Chain A
Amino acid sequence: MQRRDFIRLISGAFALAFIAPMNAFAAIWNKAAFETTKLNEAEKNLEINDEKPSEHILITLPDKAENGAIVQIEVKSNIPNTETISILVEKNPTPLIAHFKFSNGTEPFVVTRIKMAETSDVKVVVKAGNQYFTNAKGVVVLENGCG
C-alpha cells in the first residue's frame, strides 16, 4: 500500500468514527420523505398507499391564518388502532411536516404549530393496521411563514 493511500484510509476511518455517532439519530429520521418537494414522493417514502378518505380524522385549524409562521393544528383520530398520524402541507416547499407514532396507550391526538408558505390544503394521513386513511382542511394564509 502506498503511503498516500494509507493516509487517505486512516483519515476516512477517523471521519467515519466521528460522524457515525452524530448520525445515529438521523438514521431514524426519514430523510427522503422530509426533504422531498413533492407531496406524493413524501407519501411514497412513508409507505402510504391506497389511502381512503375518512371523516373520523378530526382536524382543527383556523380558516384563515394571519401569519403563516405559526398555524396551530389539532388532530384527533377516531379510527380504532391508529398507529401513526402524518401531517402534510400540500403547497409548502417541503410538504411533510411531522410524523407521529403512538404506542402504549397514547391517544391518537396531537396539537402542534406549523409553518405554511401559502394558502393550501393541510392533509392528514392516519395508519391503522395495514390501512391508511386521510382527511384534509384548507387554510387561507395571508402572510408567508416559510422564511
Chain B
Amino acid sequence: MASDNMKMRAQLKGDAASVGYTEVKVLMSHPMETGRKKDDFDRLIPAHFVQLVTATLNGKIVLEAQWGTGISKNPYLTFRLTGAKIGDTIAVTWHDNLGETATQNIIVT
C-alpha cells in the first residue's frame, strides 16, 4: 500500500547540551471499523482495523503496539524516544486485520 496514507514528524526537543527526547507524531489513514456499525441498508459493516503498530529507530524496535477496535478512525499516535539523533531514521509500520499493511520512514530533525 502507498505510504501517503501515513503522515509522520520526528523532532528532537531541547538543545544538544541538555538531555532531550525525540517526539514522533504519526497520523494514519484508516477506517477503523468496529464490525458493529451498520450501513444505510442496515447491513453490518465488517470489522476493519489496525491490529499492530511497530516503530523502529535505525532498524531497532522501540515501540510495539497492539490495538483493538477502540482506537479512533484515522489513528493518531505520539511517542517519545531517548537516544535518537538528528539524521536518524524512524520507521513506523502497521498491519490490519484484513492483511493490509503500510510503512513510512522519517528522518529526525
Contacts and interface: CB of A to CB of B under 8 A. Distances in A.
A25 B61 CA distance: 16
7 contacts: A29-B66, A35-B68, A98-B68, A98-B71, A103-B64, A114-B70, A146-B70
B95 to A, nearest CB: 4
A25 to B, nearest CB: 4
B40 to A, nearest CB: 13
Interface residues of A, number: 39
A109 B52 contact: no
A114 B63 contact: no
Interface of A: 22, 25-26, 28-30, 34-35, 69-72, 74, 89, 92-94, 96-107, 109-115, 145-147
B73 A96 contact: no
A111 B70 contact: no
Contacts of A145: 72
Contacts of A94: 68-70
A74 B78 CA distance: 9
B43 interface: no
B80 interface: yes
Interface string B37-73: 1000000000000011001010011111111111111
Contacts of B87: none
Given A26-B97, A113-B71, A104 B65 contact: no
A61 B63 CA distance: 22
Contact of A115 (B57, B70, B78): B70
Nearest to A147: B37
A111 B71 contact: no
A100 B63 contact: yes
B97 A110 contact: no
Given A26-B97, A103-B64, 9 more contacts: A28-B66, A34-B66, A97-B70, A104-B83, A105-B62, A106-B63, A107-B80, A111-B79, A113-B75
